[in-house]
Chain A
Amino acid sequence: MVMSKKYSRIKVQDLTIKYGDKAAIKSVSMEINENGVTAFIGPSGCGKSTLLRAFNRMNDEIPTCSMTGEIEWDGKNLLSEDVDPVLLRRAVSMVFQKPNVFPTSIYENVAFGLRIQGIREKAKLDAIIEESLHDAFLWDEVKDRLDDDAYSLSGGQQQRLCIARALATKPAILLMDEPTSALDPIATAKIEELIQALREKVTIVIVTHSMSQAARISDQTVFLYIGELIESGPTKKIFSEPEHELTGQYITGRFG
């Protein structure tokens, strides 16, 4: 999986996201580097998941949710009316908090994103599915049982299957919403290792409630607090010499 094209950075400008009248994200502006890992951190309810779901317009699926501002990527404003979220999500794929495998076979789970694009040839499907499962560090564990029910996998395996499923459509950006919060420490370590391997190939934006995880895996960290962006920058700098007092208090565990 080699990227054929370099993308520009993702620019978020004056983004406000509201549920009904209540603003969950208040006028956030920032930039996200490509081909790296960006972590959103902050206490629960600070809006980090809401912000993440703006990048592939998953917020569109919540009837009360409205977004203003811009997310600029590849010369497009992702929030504009003429960007079809269905097409967008092929380029900006998502992995969710709880492993949400479909109640079918392992094979069909990975095939889903491809089938809906009309790919029907078995050989082509086989090749992409094998590649995706490889990329998700799952191939060796499942290669002999691709037709088994996906629910027969362990929680950690299920989450890696979800990652493989997301990689199969060859996204440029992979969004991960607390992907390890439902997993045990060993499964978590495996996913973190996987993220490190994937960073070469896709731009990863991850929401995490664990500051140590953010410190371990990300290049860039964004700290949010009650819907506002308090501080963002290189992870090393945020964790060693935060500029904002709140950031310092949060990363040292004084609240949150």
Chain B
Amino acid sequence: MDRPAYRLDGRAPRNRIIYTSLFTAASLSVIASALIIYTLAEGAVQFFRYEEADLLEFITGTDWLPNGRNPSFGIWPLLSGTALVAAGALLIAVPLGIASALHLGEFASPRSRRLLKPIVEVLSGIPSVVHGFFALLVISPFLQRTIDATYFNAASAIIVVAAMILPIIVSISDDAIRAVPRELKEAALGLGATRWEMATRVVLPSARSGIVAAVLLALARAVGETMAVTMAAGSVAALHFDPRLEVQTLTAYIAQVATGDIPPGPATDAGFAVGSALFIITYSVNIIAVGATRRRLGVKKGKIRSFIPNQIKRAREIISRTRNQVEHQISQSNPFIPSKYDLFRQRKERAFRFLISSSLFVGLAFLLILLQTILETGLAGLDFDFLTNFPSYRPENAGINPTIWGSLWLITLTMLFALPAGVGAAVYLTELAPEGFVNQFLRRTLQNLAAVPSIIFGLVGLYVFSRMFGFGLSLLTGSLTLAMMVLPMIVVTTEEALLAVPKSFRDAALGVGATKWQAVRYHVLPNAIPGISTGAILSVARALGETAPILFVASLFSKTAPTGIMDGFLALPLQIFYWTRNPQESFHDLAASTILVLLILLLILNLIAIFIRNRAEARRSW
């Protein structure tokens, strides 16, 4: 048989256009980050040019009085408001979240796990503005009756923010707990540990770094949370730590600027300085969180740090020595008769298992009350007229026709920008880019971008797209802003989908002489499409429910549906926000009806995602 002539000199052609465009897509995160930093820095500099503003006073001052003749810009009241809400939310969500994760990971049967996990997912899918509605119109009145809270109060914000960060803590801790090697758990059980002892003495310490990361990410989210806090906690910046009273957070002030409640001038530009402070805080927390996830099991050498100071330890030993007059026999004579201590262990096991299994029901109860309230107040107004009518000052005539169209335009355009960019970036980073400094830098940038509070994207949209590029208050501005925000999410879900395709597929293609791109194009991408679509749909859902980023750039008074990308627009979550804040109660019912429409759309999107995932899993042969 004749051998073909092999050509071994030179190199296989590389598709320059593809490489360049994919690299560009991957670099967009850097551009987005640069725009954020530019906006915040530029805006802050402009603010400090005012003679009323002073950097030292800003950092150290304890009065935040932006309006009036003698304004004062000391950030501490906003910081204390933020700290109060975030700390309160963590105080509720951390114990509940870790207990829930432990129950899901170690104690729940696979069947009840399948039933309980969706509660967490549904809770994480509820848009912030819906939580705000619930906090202001359900939780707050309850707190006014029971603990003498004011109409706006920190406590109601704390409760809904806790519900918002609970899913973060549960899902990340759950991942960390499930990543604890089975061997370690078996080692504990094999030595006669009860499941509770195994969980607390082996599983939790081994999963510690993941749990710490979960808490930190939840903290960053709580600090950056805007809509619910704005709606529930109020707009009085006061330096106190009483959850029954009104507070203003960093994010709430920026939102106040966005909604035009603040006169132009230094008070408005202060939003950028506050945004800078917010950015620095969340960025630092995120950096520490990423550092915590990177510390893997057993990498650390030397002594394991003990959290208990030595003195306490020693004191405990003395106490236990005296208590242990009753000698614990390591009874060899009959291992089957439980000692007194064993009986105590059994009771402890039962008590704690009951306790943590009930933790998930707190989340479930919250969810059920929320949904029930919204159905009760919103269902009556949800009719054909409501969907086809236009907004109106008269609640009986008001409808959400242009709002629905606005939202549909917005998410379509957003995905048009974000999907190619996100998928391209993911393909470049996971498949084509050489590992190294550039790759790592791009990845970190994406990670950090994902942790930027959504209201900051709003500032960028206003400053860069609307003013600098001159796109104005248009769909184009809104969708570019949202695209920046969902980009990291699309990259992450796409990467997961790509990595789920077995390496052997790539090897097989490369083994017969395909280039890297050909292997990706013909063997990896086609198999990753269900995963990518699922991620994309979930990103659409996220964009659909977001309010804060478009708070600056939507036009409240657009009474008609948009007809082109330069038109002004209104979106469903914004409509909910405005109607909830309207003092007239009949508008609250309209807000509830709008929430129902939004939730139904989100439900449909999620069902589609689940359908695609299940079908792909059923069809997959590998």
Contact = CB atoms under 8 A, between A and B. Distances in A.
Given A63-B110, A151-B298, A116 B192 contact: yes
B317 A120 contact: yes
A193 interface: no
B36 to A, nearest CB: 38
Interface string A124-135: 000010000000
B584 to A, nearest CB: 56
B199 to A, nearest CB: 12
A102 B202 contact: yes
Contacts of A86: 192-194, 342, 345
A97 B304 CA distance: 25
A125 to B, nearest CB: 10
B264 interface: no
A12 to B, nearest CB: 18
Interface string A185-204: 00000000000000000000
B192 A103 contact: no
Contacts of B302: 148-149, 152
B197 A100 contact: no
Contacts of A95: 190
B181 A100 contact: yes
Given A83-B336, A120-B320, A149-B303, A169 B191 contact: yes
Contact of B304 (A116, A149, A162, A169): A149
B188 A118 contact: no
Interface string A64-84: 000000000010100000011
Contacts of B193: 86, 112-113, 116
A35 interface: no
Contacts of B109: 63
Contacts of A162: 187
A119 B345 CA distance: 13
Contacts of B344: 118
B297 A103 contact: yes
B184 A100 contact: yes
Nearest to B110: A63
A21 interface: no
A25 B556 CA distance: 71
Given A105-B303, A119-B328, A149-B304, A166 B191 contact: yes
Contact of B342 (A3, A87, A94, A96): A87
A98 B190 CA distance: 14
Best-surrounded residue of A116, A122, A170 (most CB of chain B within 10 A): A116
B428 to A, nearest CB: 36
Interface string B174-198: 0000000101101111111110010
17 contacts: A3-B332, A61-B189, A90-B191, A91-B332, A102-B184, A102-B188, A103-B205, A103-B298, A112-B202, A113-B191, A115-B201, A117-B192, A149-B298, A149-B302, A151-B298, A152-B301, A162-B187
Given A86-B342, A94-B190, A112-B188, 6 more contacts: A74-B334, A90-B330, A103-B297, A149-B302, A152-B301, A169-B191
Q: Which 8 A-B pairs have the closest CB atoms?
A: A91-B335, A100-B183, A94-B190, A113-B191, A90-B192, A120-B320, A89-B192, A151-B298
